[in-house]
Amino acid sequence: EAQVTQNPRYLITVTGKKLTVTCSQNMNHEYMSWYRQDPGLGLRQIYYSMNVEVTDKGDVPEGYKVSRKEKRNFPLILESPSPNQTSLYFCASSLLSGLTDTQYFGPGTRLTVL
Amino acid sequence: GESVGLHLPTLSVQEGDNSIINCAYSNSASDYFIWYKQESGKGPQFIIDIRSNMDKRQGQRVTVLLNKTVKHLSLQIAATQPGDSAVYFCAESYHTGANSKLTFGKGITLSVRP
């Protein structure tokens, strides 16, 4: 089944404890992206990647890192999480640029930083 | 966990009626538009898209209308069903020089009354 998977689905952590949220797609998509979703603010892009080893900042990149060492995986790294990073996170992928192609979203990761 | 639909405007319709969900987009240079559906506890799911050289596109039970003059996008759902209850987002894509940007609206909650 074609899909985007994220792990973990739920995570409660404490301020300053490094964490990684994994994202993987099995559709051979070139474009991958991370979003956070907050009440009243909608989906905001954190980082995106047009292809392997190519990553760029989105609208809200502060406090986040990403890597794209292989096509299928695009992990989101929070080196020192803070409570304002409590949010619902979505990974998405699309065949090409993601801007004129359908983006497929993962199921989401709900992160709480205490 | 908190629903993504909290704090959003709500459209309530009777089962079997047609629904019209509206979206005002911000950039007259946007050239690609997408509607997404997000059910509780899930990631956004692609419904239908339209490019700026069109003003109407139909899918299965859904129609998207684009009015570039007033920067307005609408999603029409025929014979609304309980399974259509969800949060609906529009998204616009536009190019800024060498870069491109995809921006999501905040969403509208559709509630279907049995």
Q: How far apart, in whole angstroms, are the C-alpha atoms of residue A69 and residue A112?
A: 27
pLDDT value of residue A57:
93
- Consecutive H or E run containing B53: none
pLDDT of B99 over the 70 cut: no
Structure confidence by residue, pLDDT tens digits, B16-66: 999 999 999 988 989 899 999 999 989 999 999 999 999 999 999 999 999
Q: How far apart, in whole angstroms, are the C-alpha atoms of residue A21 and residue A7?
A: 6
Query: Is the CB of B6 less than 8 angstroms away from the CB of A37?
Result: no
Q: How far apart, in whole angstroms, are the C-alpha atoms of residue A30 and residue B90?
A: 23
The partner residue sitting opposite B107, judged by closest CB among A42, A100, A104, is A42
Q: Which of A11, A100, A101, A112 to probe by mutation at the B interface, max B CB count within 10 Å? A: A100
Query: Is the CB of B4 less than 8 angstroms away from the CB of A37?
Result: yes
Q: Using CB atoms and an 8 Å cut-off, which of residues 14-73 of chain B contact chain A? A: 31-32, 34, 36, 41-46, 49, 51
Query: Is the CB of A45 less than 8 angstroms away from the CB of B102?
Result: yes
Q: Which of B6, B95, B102 to probe by mutation at the A interface, max A CB count within 10 Å? A: B102
- Cβ atoms A59, A44 nearer than 8 A: yes
pLDDT of A99 over the 90 cut: no
Q: Give the minimum alpha-carbon distance from A43 to chain B in angstroms, rounded to a whole number.
A: 6
Q: Give the minimum alpha-carbon distance from A91 to chain B in angstroms, rounded to a whole number.
A: 9
Q: How far apart, in whole angstroms, are the C-alpha atoms of residue A93 and residue A105?
A: 7
Query: Is the CB of B43 less than 8 angstroms away from the CB of A102?
Result: no
Q: A30-34, A96-100, B77-81 — which is least confidently predicted?
A: A96-100
Q: How far apart, in whole angstroms, are the C-alpha atoms of residue B38 and residue A39?
A: 14
Query: Is the CB of B105 less than 8 angstroms away from the CB of A42?
Result: yes
Q: How far apart, in whole angstroms, are the C-alpha atoms of residue B33 and residue A99?
A: 9
Instruction: Compute how many other C-beta atoms are within 10 angstroms of the C-beta atom of residue A7.
Output: 14
Query: Is the CB of A41 less than 8 angstroms away from the CB of B106?
Result: yes
pLDDT of B1 over the 70 cut: no
Mean pLDDT of B3-9: 62
Grade residue B2 by pLDDT with cuts at 50, 70 and 90.
Answer: very low
Structure confidence by residue, pLDDT tens digits, A31-90: 999 999 998 888 999 999 989 999 999 999 999 999 999 999 999 999 999 999 999 999
- Consecutive H or E run containing A82: none
Max CA pair span of chain B? 49
- Cβ atoms B61, B18 nearer than 8 A: no
Q: How far apart, in whole angstroms, are the C-alpha atoms of residue B87 and residue A28?
A: 28
Q: A36-45, A88-97, B8-17, B93-102 — which is least confidently predicted?
A: B93-102
Q: How far apart, in whole angstroms, are the C-alpha atoms of residue B97 and residue B107?
A: 28
Query: Is the CB of B106 less than 8 angstroms away from the CB of A40?
Result: yes
